[in-house]
């Protein structure tokens, strides 16, 4: 692809503004750039790479001009309506919402795991849920060698995953003012075992997203997956305890080597010196950090690890920009 014309839909949001940061850092090439949001932000000016761009209101006519790639992060209903309009005009949409992730016609892509799936896109490519992205980056190299039978996820997820409302709930809560704009309970001083709404089976939507998206990205329906997702009073980075059972036996040394040499992973594991991935250290970074790597003695071929990544960067903006980089070759 020549230098693409690029659009950011949801450019004024938490993820949208991180798109711009990541595009700048990675010197992503483009010809024209269009920033779009709701009517509320239309006319607002955003400074980017030495130029001022006016935010335009997203409408059905927005994609009448030639736009090669559009990075969407403006919520599910916006994507549901506008991604097909953009795709019908020849734009390739990289969508951050959950609207298209499980659609059979839409590839769900993590560049370190299944870059090949980009090739069958029909105009929409979905970016997975933040908690799933970091998990599959860590699991894929192990699955390729030892074949995963079962995964148990327990997550500790940051409030930035709920956008600006979540951040405000924690900021105010820490000052003793328990507002509940994003959550059903105060988040300061609490761990909330509920992310998104409850489904009939007793799981939350976030938990089922982790289950379904893991299978689609890894491309193996035989894996058994279960999850408990928890919101914690942390501003940035999701932390995850991942328990895995493999079909084949493994040597712990080999697991360390595999993870250390896999793309996008940094191993931080020195228990004697209390070294392991920490949310505060991983914030603002693009890698997936893995530590506390150890054998699960309670089952055959079991492994435990602790996986941390910045949910707004690798969990959203960076992953989407990496997909766009693959699109332009």
Ligand X SMILES: NC(=O)c1ccc[n+]([C@@H]2O[C@H](COP(=O)([O-])OP(=O)(O)OC[C@H]3O[C@@H](n4cnc5c(N)ncnc54)[C@H](OP(=O)(O)O)[C@@H]3O)[C@@H](O)[C@H]2O)c1
Where do contacts with ligand X occur on this chain (CB under 6 A)?
A: 10-16, 37-38, 40-41, 58, 73-76, 78, 96-97, 130, 160-161, 163-164, 311-312, 315-316
Task: Reply yes or no on whether 130 is catalytic.
Answer: yes
Query: Please, which residue, 164 or 199, has the CB nearer to ligand X?
Result: 164
Query: Please, which residue, 235 or 250, has the CB nearer to ligand X?
Result: 235
- Residue 166's SS3 state is helix
Q: Of 143, 237, 238, 282, which is the active-site residue?
A: 238
Query: DSSP of 14-25, one letter per residue?
Result: HHHHHHHHHHHH
Q: Of 47, 130, 143, 237, which is the active-site residue?
A: 130
- Provide the minimum distance between the beta carbon of 5 and ligand X in the complex, in angstroms, as a whole number: 19
Q: How open is the CA angle 153-318-315, to the nearest 5 degrees?
A: 20
| Alpha carbons 94 and 71: distance in angstroms, whole number | 5
Are the beta carbons of 164 and 238 closer than 8 angstroms?
A: no
Q: Which residue has the tokens 């409302």?
A: 165
From first CA to last CA, the distance across the chain in angstroms is 7
Kindly state the helix (H) or strand (E) to which residue 45 belongs, with its residue range.
strand 45-48
- Provide the minimum distance between the beta carbon of 226 and ligand X in the complex, in angstroms, as a whole number: 22
- Provide the minimum distance between the beta carbon of 46 and ligand X in the complex, in angstroms, as a whole number: 11
Query: Please, which residue, 121 or 311, has the CB nearer to ligand X?
Result: 311
Q: How open is the CA angle 183-184-187, to the nearest 5 degrees?
A: 55
| Alpha carbons 180 and 202: distance in angstroms, whole number | 23
Query: Please, which residue, 293 or 316, has the CB nearer to ligand X?
Result: 316
- Provide the minimum distance between the beta carbon of 257 and ligand X in the complex, in angstroms, as a whole number: 31
- Provide the minimum distance between the beta carbon of 305 and ligand X in the complex, in angstroms, as a whole number: 22
Where residue 144 falls (left for φ over 0; alpha for ψ -120 to 50; beta otherwise) is alpha
Query: Please, which residue, 73 or 239, has the CB nearer to ligand X?
Result: 73
Active-site positions read 130, 238
């Amino acid at each position: 692809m020549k230098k693409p014309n690029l659009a950011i839909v949801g450019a004024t949001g938490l993820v949208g503004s991180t798109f711009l940061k990541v595009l700048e850092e990675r010197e992503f090439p483009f010809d024209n750039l269009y920033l779009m949001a709701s009517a509320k932000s239309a006319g607002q000016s955003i400074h980017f790479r030495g130029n001022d761009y006016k935010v335009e209101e997203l409408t059905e006519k927005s994609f009448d001009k030639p736009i090669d790639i559009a990075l969407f992060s403006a919520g599910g209903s916006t994507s549901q309506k506008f991604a097909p309009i953009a795709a019908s005009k020849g734009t390739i949409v990289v969508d951050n919402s959950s609207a298209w992730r499980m659609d059979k016609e839409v590839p769900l892509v993590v560049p370190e795991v299944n870059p090949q799936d980009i090739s069958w896109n029909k105009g929409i490519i979905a970016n997975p849920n933040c908690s799933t992205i970091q998990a599959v980056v860590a699991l894929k190299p192990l699955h390729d060698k030892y074949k995963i039978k079962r995964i148990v996820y327990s997550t500790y997820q940051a409030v930035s995953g709920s956008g600006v409302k979540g951040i405000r709930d924690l900021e105010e809560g820490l000052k003793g003012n328990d507002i509940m704009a994003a959550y059903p309970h105060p988040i300061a001083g609490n761990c909330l075992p509920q992310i998104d709404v409850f489904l009939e089976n007793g799981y939350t939507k976030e938990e089922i997203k982790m289950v379904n998206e893991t299978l689609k990205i890894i491309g193996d329906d035989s894996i058994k997956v279960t999850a408990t997702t928890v919101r914690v009073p942390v501003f940035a980075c999701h932390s995850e305890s991942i328990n895995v059972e493999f079909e084949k036996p493994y040597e712990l040394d080999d697991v360390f080597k595999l993870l250390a040499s896999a793309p996008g992973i940094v191993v931080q594991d020195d228990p004697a010196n209390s070294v392991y991935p920490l949310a505060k250290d991983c914030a603002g970074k693009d890698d997936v950090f893995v530590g506390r790597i150890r054998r699960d003695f309670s089952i055959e071929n079991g492994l435990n690890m602790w996986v941390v990544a910045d949910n707004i960067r690798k969990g959203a903006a960076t992953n989407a920009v990496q997909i766009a980089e693959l699109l332009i070759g």
